[in-house]
Structure 1
Amino acid sequence: MSLIKHTFYLGLVFLINYSNSTSAHENKTPLEIKTIAKDLGVPWGMILLPDNTMLITQREGFLSQLDLNNGQIVSINGLPKIKVKGQGGLFDIALSPNYGATGWIYFSYSKDISGQGATALSRAKLDNKRLIDWQDLLITESTTNTNVHYGGRISFDNNSHVFLTVGDRGVRSNAQNLSNHAGSILRLNLNGTIPTDNPYINYPNALAEIWTYGHRNPQGMFFNKHTQQLWAIEHGPRGGDEINLIKSGHNYGWPIVSYGMEYSKDIPVGLGTSHEGMEQPVKTYIPSIAPSGLIQYSGKAFPKWKNNLLTGSLKLRHLNKISLDDRNNAIGEARLLREINGRIRNIIQDNNGWLYVSTDDGRILRVKPE
């Protein structure tokens, strides 16, 4: 497979005026962008393996392995039956924190439950181009008759816990109902059991896997292992996408509070933008960018970007970069990679500090300094 090389300059990138612009130095940083794979459907999740290959989930229900040395792609067998419809399909993929010892790889997908879809968290091992020992760790209580708002991002902390986002599944009231998993971020032990210090474990009418609730459709999540902080980004309605710093047991407001508007008319969603007992976002996007994927940059390749949040934009087709102050206030934003003209679905960082982004037209691109 040929590698298509493009070089762009951040000076050509459109910088928005909602907050402080980035520095002049950043604006002159040349980037080398290579398309290293294409024709991969909707590549939803990516992980890098120690053998210099990448595993890529495709929402259509396929798993592929990309050799980063020669560009060759092979299919991986052994996936379960997946409900591929609407926004449903195969979602995220993540390496266990103890992957070297156990070989576990975690997956999220939409599982068919009597004709309806539910977000599921699973794990398996890779053996000679095939998944083995597949385990469904949690089939969430999130079935509805819609095919939207599955969430599906996975992250791990430093204490052997796995987090999973679940969208409201198209039913707004789900997000304030602790008796189902929809509209929540969940926290489990690596084997799928429930941690004894989860915030709702002793609440009789709440599901004990819930870590936070009041979310609409979080499709980006990242745990910073140095600061011990969990970040998430979620789709708002018409406007009102949010970046949130996730704290145990907190209510993030949807649909009671939102910075977005109703689709049918120009009126705010819910009761407005704030309410007692509900968290305020670190940043909102008005109009919506449709965010997907999230990391907090920690590499050496782009030193000026350290601790910046990076997320893909599906709607406005760019890489969104948010700078933070030492109190985690959003103080700057830049919109990068607009020239690739792709709905950026996900972003990951390698050990060199280089970035890999996936786009909904089936491309995987590598971004590094020129």
Structure 2
Amino acid sequence: MMTSVIRTLSLVLLSISGALILTGIARATVVITGSSNNMDYQVSLVAQNLSVPWGMAFISPNQLLITQRHGEAVILDTAGNNRIQVKGLPDVAAAGQGGLLDVVAEPGYQQSNDWLYFTYSKMLGDQAVTVLARGKLKQDTLIQWQELLVADSATTSYRHFGSRIAFDQQGHLFFSVGDRGERPNGQDLTTHAGSILRLNMDGTVPTDNPFVSQPNALPEIWSYGHRNPQGLAYDRGNTRLWAIEHGPRGGDEINLIEKGSNYGWPVTSHGKEYWGPLSVGEATEKEGIVSPRKVYIPSIAPGSLLHYTGEAFPGWRGDLFAGALKLEHINRISLGKNGDVLSEERLLSPLKERIRALLQSPEGWIYFTTDSGNLYLISPKP
């Protein structure tokens, strides 16, 4: 009888232990606790020794695929105690701000048959371009690799590649491309640089894109006048797209992206010139140019954007979260019904980390990566 009881207790303990590992709590070390909007949270260090982890996507409830800017990717369990190298990735131009960048799983992703979408930089001759591609994951290998769009964005510069992906849940994807370090590209509709693009999931051009029928304009362009949008987030409840982008010296912007609209760069800017006698923008506002919903002076250097919809933190639902690189925090933006910015909160500054990617988990927790190579988790404090 006693042996049976001990065996039963052992099985229960093993079951509990396994559940903790599957939910990503085991082995994670709590490094910070805090409170926001009357909710207590804790921040746990899940994994270390990644190499500039630029993007991440859930490929199962308990597994993340994480891209690393130098050109490799890993599959990491959410407990942080097992990682597998991903095979089948293309060669990338890993220099400056370029390399293997974003990864997003298609809506309703099932690992057996669905697509993972990637952005990265690659060389065309002696110039670099931003690329959108997709592949299917079979165990640890990407197969059926397809380059959907090699952006018309070639320069010898290794900066301002963009490059984030968002889905509108209506069969389209959005894909951001920076101005590639050449300012006039922002107002030039004959290049993809300095634009946010809209494609069908297979890479074809939707017939209702704004410039499909316009001569001397690329049909993939959805909006233009962007400097370097490194955060995209789609608000499904309100069917609207948000972007956050780097200003020059000050003047980072949050924009509500509208079809066919011009967001001003380099004609308008809230930032300052790096050197003279060149000028950044002739004004902060101008007729025909959409003004940002929020401007950051000084720059926070945004590296990502998340629209939070989870149940774990009800006081954050509908808010935007941006990872700040230069000012080393997570920036929480509370929005009104019409997309007006109501307030801003700066979270996790004591970590002193350049925060790169943000991702909401199925539980409504928030995972984030840092340029130092760490993976962290924000979860409710027990």
2:283 to 272, 276, 292: 272
Q: Work out which of the two has the higher radius of gyration on C-alpha atoms and give 1 or 2.
A: 2
2:243 to 205, 221, 232: 232
Name the CA distance, whole Å, in 1 between partners of 2:277 and 2:378: 39
Cα deviation for residue 331 of structure 1 reads: 1.5
- For the pair 1:99 / 2:124, whether they are aligned, the reply is no
Cα deviation for residue 30 of structure 1 reads: 2.9
Matched with 1:47 is 57
Amino acid at match of 2:318: N
Name the CA distance, whole Å, in 1 between partners of 2:288 and 2:166: 26
Matched with 2:14 is none
Name the CA distance, whole Å, in 1 between partners of 2:207 and 2:33: 50
Q: List per-residue Cα deviations over 1:43-81 (Å, max 9, x = no partner).
A: 010111225100000011011000124621111011011
- For the pair 1:185 / 2:210, whether they are aligned, the reply is no
Matched with 2:30 is 5
- For the pair 1:112 / 2:123, whether they are aligned, the reply is yes
Change (3 A) 1:121 1:29: same
Once the two structures are superposed, the pairs formed by residues 149-298 of structure 1 within 5 Å of their partners are: 149-264=160-275, 269-298=280-309
Equivalent pair of 1:97/1:160 in contact (CA under 8 Å):
no
Cα deviation for residue 247 of structure 1 reads: 0.6
Matched with 2:347 is 336
Q: List per-residue Cα deviations over 1:276-303 (Å, max 9, x = no partner).
A: 1000000000000001111111112111
Amino acid at match of 1:42: V
Matched with 2:74 is 64
1:365 to 368, 376, 380: 376
Name the CA distance, whole Å, in 1 between partners of 2:108 and 2:217: 30
Name the CA distance, whole Å, in 2 between partners of 1:28 and 1:218: 32
Name the CA distance, whole Å, in 1 between partners of 2:27 and 2:310: 27
Name the CA distance, whole Å, in 2 between partners of 1:111 and 1:225: 32
Name the CA distance, whole Å, in 1 between partners of 2:260 and 2:38: 43
Secondary structure of 1:323 counterpart: strand
Name the CA distance, whole Å, in 2 between partners of 1:267 and 1:80: 38
Percent identity of equivalent pairs: 48
Name the CA distance, whole Å, in 2 between partners of 1:150 and 1:273: 24
Amino acid at match of 1:238: R
Name the CA distance, whole Å, in 1 between partners of 2:90 and 2:278: 43
What count of residue pairs does the alignment treat as equivalent? 355
Equivalent pair of 1:258/1:268 in contact (CA under 8 Å):
no
Name the CA distance, whole Å, in 1 between partners of 2:135 and 2:152: 22
Matched with 2:149 is 138
Cα deviation for residue 28 of structure 1 reads: 5.6
Change (3 A) 1:171 1:73: same
Equivalent pair of 1:93/1:154 in contact (CA under 8 Å):
yes
Equivalent pair of 1:7/1:30 in contact (CA under 8 Å):
no
Name the CA distance, whole Å, in 2 between partners of 1:267 and 1:69: 50
Structure 2 runs not aligned, ≥5 long = 1-25
- For the pair 1:73 / 2:98, whether they are aligned, the reply is no
- For the pair 1:325 / 2:336, whether they are aligned, the reply is yes
Equivalent pair of 2:27/2:80 in contact (CA under 8 Å):
no
Structure 1 runs not aligned, ≥5 long = 11-25
Q: Which has the larger displacement, 279-288 or 326-335? A: 326-335
RMSD: 1.6
Change (3 A) 1:40 1:127: same
